[in-house]
Amino acid sequence: MTYPLSVLDQSPISEGSVGAEALANSIDLARHVEALGYERYWIAEHHGTPMLASAAPEILIAAVAAATSRIEVGSGGVMLPHYSPLKVAEVFSMLAALHPGRIDLGLGRAPGSDRETMFALQRDRRQASPDDFPEQLAELLAYLEDDFPAGHPLARLTALPGGPERPEVWLLGSSPQSAIWAGELGLPYVFADFINPAGAEIAQLYRQRFVPSRRRERPFVGVCLSVVCAETDEEARRIAASSRMAMTLLRQGRLIAVPPVETALAFFEHNDPPAGRRAVVGSPTTVRSGIEEVVAAYAADEAMLVTITYEHAARRRSYELVAGAF
């Protein structure tokens, strides 16, 4: 294997379970994949859903980093439009000080929620939030890199609470615009193939637009895939039915916790699976081949895997089998 494997964790909540158990499972999984040799462990941000407990990645990052010792821990990502850039800089400065060299700040533009939840997250509800992500990102980088112009009124705020330690900043995306921003700013870029499987050309666009910077001398592409691995192809397809059902209903505006496998199999006797999303599902041999195919298409430097199953043991086993296959 010439590229590292990493994990994106959305803290899935299974039917009959609660968020507290999902969060405990995330910490358990982080310890497990660290022992297996995974490179980094990122926590997603999602709001207003009974399926995912990862509403505040910065809190879970602190818990995961404290429970592990080597693996890099970060956000996949912080949805910056919801927040003050200064607050994000301060939070991740503190995390970096507590866990030097191990904290990643992955940033996203998407809301991570539906319209109503996005509205509820707004501090000022008199009007829609401005679409000013590039300005927010530039301000955040200026705090982290002490890079405000001379005489700027916010320059004194670069004395962040974590002292000299800083997180590594990444840009996440599933569209051409995010690739352009990442390239022009010289940031490492992770593409969400599990949302948009047509990202190989977008990754190439990022490379074409890449400008070397203090952050990266060369472009760096990560690709995040949906993966479910089990001992056999048939068993993997069975286990994957749970997340497929949840995603099918999500597209219909119906939010549910991750259903049991038998419930999901019964559901698909009368419903078609969701189209337009890619998942790599199968035995270790099948999954390795599928991951390698996607990585080759993106010419990616790293593969990040997101796995949702009803049983936590099945999720642990999936990452274990993938690690063994590589």
Give the pLDDT mean for 249-257: 92
Supply the CATH number for residue 60's domain: 3.20.20.30
DSSP one-letter code for 20: H
Could you tell me which of 44, 28, 116 has the C-alpha nearest to residue 313?
A: 28
Is 90 exceeded by the pLDDT of residue 66? yes
Is 60 exceeded by the pLDDT of residue 1? no
Give the pLDDT mean for 81-88: 95
State which residues form the domain around 196.
5-325
Higher pLDDT, 75 or 110: 75
Report the Cα 122 to chain-centroid distance in Å: 22
Is the Cβ–Cβ distance between 305 and 227 less than 8 Å?
A: yes
Which residue bears the tokens 């790599």? 280
**What is the model's pLDDT at position 294?**
97
Which residue bears the tokens 């559901």? 267
Q: Can you read off the two tokens belonging to residue 103?
A: 């904290």
Which residue bears the tokens 């948009």? 196
Q: Express as a percent the part of the chain with pLDDT over 90.
A: 88
Q: Express as a percent the part of the chain with pLDDT over 70.
A: 98
Could you tell me which of 116, 65, 114, 137 has the C-alpha nearest to residue 94?
A: 65
CB atoms within 10 A of CB 293: 10
Residues 8 and 123: their CA atoms lie apart, in Å, by 28
Q: In terms of C-beta distances under 8 Å and separation of at least 24 residues, what long-range contacts does 211-215 make, across chains too?
A: 211/183, 211/184, 211/185, 211/186, 212/186, 213/185, 213/186, 213/187, 214/145, 214/186, 215/168, 215/169, 215/185, 215/186, 215/187, 215/188
pLDDT tens for each residue of 272-283: 877 767 899 999
pLDDT tens for each residue of 24-53: 999 999 999 999 999 999 999 999 999 999
**How would residue 129 be classed by pLDDT, with cut points 50, 70 and 90?**
confident
Number of domains in the chain: 1
Is the Cβ–Cβ distance between 294 and 193 less than 8 Å?
A: yes
**What is the model's pLDDT at position 251?**
86
Is 90 exceeded by the pLDDT of residue 173? yes
Residues 52 and 227: their CA atoms lie apart, in Å, by 17
